Amino acid sequence: MEGPGDPPEGTPEGAPGGGDEEYRSVVFDESFVRAARLQESSARERLGDHAPAVRTRHAWARLGASRQLLLLVLLIALAFGTAVYMGLRHPYKEPRPPSAEPLQTTVIPLAPRGTVPGGPADRLFAGSPAQRFGEGADGVTLPDARRTQNFSEGLVMAALATAKEYTVRSALDRAVLGGGDGRAVRVLLAPSQLDQYDRSFEHPAADGQHAITGWLVRFDPAQVALDDAPVRVEGAFSLTEVSPAALEVSADHTFVYAVRPAAVKDGKADASLFTVRRILRFRFDRDDLQDHHLQVLQSTVQAGPESCGADDAAYLRPLLAGRTADNSRQPATDPYATGRPAGGLCGVLAPGPMVPAGGPAPPGR
């Protein structure tokens, strides 16, 4: 006979055999299964010899897809941040160029020994050393451009060309020479020197840094007028690489101007020659070369004929035809005083640059 079986209605509640009731509160959802450290091998996997019934799941596999993506993004961000930090801290970065230095200026009047000769401009030029000089911008010539250790031929040429442009604008542009606002020169300066340049225009002073005549050549339009004769020029440029990040260009030029009194409107007043020698030192870093800028580090100007006591911080003040130097206003120099010397530098102008052929012309001729 068969043993007793379960009643057709199922196992009575509370009777033996109803042990499944204690597991009803356990829910094996998908997250529980994914989080399990052990995973049952498939039937195909268990066919192999000595194959274990279960295997340990890798920690990466237990993570959800969204968590895996988040962790991957974090790893990429960490790698990128490390690369940027190492780039900023790279020990072999190109050295930064020094910031622009203030311009140091020296303006030296050259006093004539006697009366300033006058006459037609062409005759004055013919009797002076300026006869062999070039005329205007054509007299400002550049040397051949050759690459340096750290700068290409193109960058060297850019430095020389910008130095020439500054030279032409600051000493040959008639608007600048006639006392203009100097914007044509300002646009070529590095931004770090603009404040000094503007202060020199607003408050010119013979303090070694704020003489506008150290930046450019200009005459007081109320006193001096330029003759129509072209300005004569002679000089040269030289270039040096001072560091892997900077070039320097030196410019040494002599300019000879024919000038007349501004008050004479009929043009019958005699002209006279006024000579200016300028020695400038420019610096270019790579940003300057890219932006078509330069830094003017040093300017030494010798100008004459002038009186030794001339106040030439704002304008150069030529002695015109028939005049002599008045050196009575030259301040005394105290060698025991400290600081910048009160007495300005002054030289004596050699007669050659201003004496026309055949000797000086009589005043008023």
User: What is the mean pLDDT for each group of 10 consecutive residues in the chain (365 residues)?
Assistant: 55 54 60 63 66 62 66 84 69 51 93 94 94 96 96 97 98 96 95 96 94 97 95 97 97 97 78 97 97 97 93 95 84 68 75 56 38
CA 19, CA 7: separation in Å to the nearest integer?
Answer: 17
Q: Is 177 found in the same domain as 285?
A: yes
Side chain identity, residue 233: V
pLDDT at 80: 83
Write down the pLDDT at residue 326.
85
Per the domain annotation, does 364 fall within a domain?
no
CB burial string 282-300: b at 16+ within 10 A, e below: bbbbbebbeeebbbbbbbb
Q: Are 64 and 168 within one domain?
A: no
Provide the pLDDT for residue 189: 97
pLDDT at 56: 67
Which residue is listed with tokens 């596999």? 61
Assess if residue 11 is contained within a domain.
no
Q: Which of 88, 112, 131 is the last residue in one of the domains? A: 88
189 inside domain: yes
Same domain, yes or no: 236 and 308:
yes
pTM: 0.70
Domain boundary among 43, 58, 88: 88
Place of tokens 């340990």: 56
Which of 199, 210, 191 has the alpha carbon at shortest distance from 293? Answer: 191
Domain-located, residue 14: no
Where among 54, 88, 122 does a domain terminate? 88
Per-state percent for the chain, helix, strand, coil, to nearest 5: 30, 20, 50
Residue 351 pLDDT: 74
Do 239 and 159 contact (CB within 8 A), yes or no? Answer: yes
Q: Tell me which residue range forms the domain holding 242.
A: 104-331+341-354
Tally helices (H) and strands (E) across the chain: 11, 10
Domain count, the chain: 2
CA-closest candidate to residue 162, choices 297, 295, 299, 278:
295
Residues 127 and 69 in one domain: no
The Cα 137–Cα 229 span in angstroms is 13
Quick check: is 120 in a domain? yes
Same domain, 77 and 204: no
Mark whether 53 and 121 lie in a shared domain: no
Q: In angstroms, rounded to a whole number, what is the distance separating the alpha carbons of residues 325 and 213?
A: 20
Task: Verify that 173 and 207 share a domain, yes or no.
Answer: yes
| Claim to verify: residue 32 and residue 82 sit in the same structural domain | yes
Query: Is residue 60 located within the same domain as residue 184?
Result: no
Q: Rounded CA gap, 338 and 343, in Å?
A: 12
Q: Give the per-residue pLDDT at 60.
A: 52
